[in-house]
Amino acid sequence: MTEHEDYEPNPDDDLKSEGIYTLRLFITGASPNSSRAIANLKDICEGHLRGNYELEIIDVYQQPLMAQSEQVIALPMLVKMSPSPVRRLIGDMSDKQKVLRGLGLPATE
């Protein structure tokens, strides 16, 4: 393999090599905690995974079987399906550093 002289590394290449982040956020209707979790997670994803994630929001009142199949134990709960390993985070996603670590991303200052 030859290296081109004009090649400049793209910091987003690492994210793309990992594949699309597939996320499921389980919530309970329009509760304040659910609303905060949605807003916080969207902010984090847009800031760190823009164009490289799929977020599915699942209301356990409307889809109880899906919540049961994922063994949801507390709400709101985020499940990172891919890339591996699968990880689960519980809470309103307000602790940005904890969410980033849970997603396998470098924490920011």
Instruction: Name the residue ranges covered by the structural domains of the chain.
Output: 19-94
Q: Does domain 19-94 fall into CATH 3.90.1150.10?
A: no
Per-residue confidence in pLDDT tens, the chain, 109 aa: 333 334 343 444 444 445 899 999 999 999 999 999 999 999 999 999 999 999 999 999 999 999 999 999 999 999 999 999 999 999 999 999 999 999 999 987 6
- Burial class of 108 by CB neighbour count within 10 A (0 to 12, 13 to 18, 19+): exposed
CB 99 within 8 A of CB 89: yes
pTM assigned to the model: 0.82
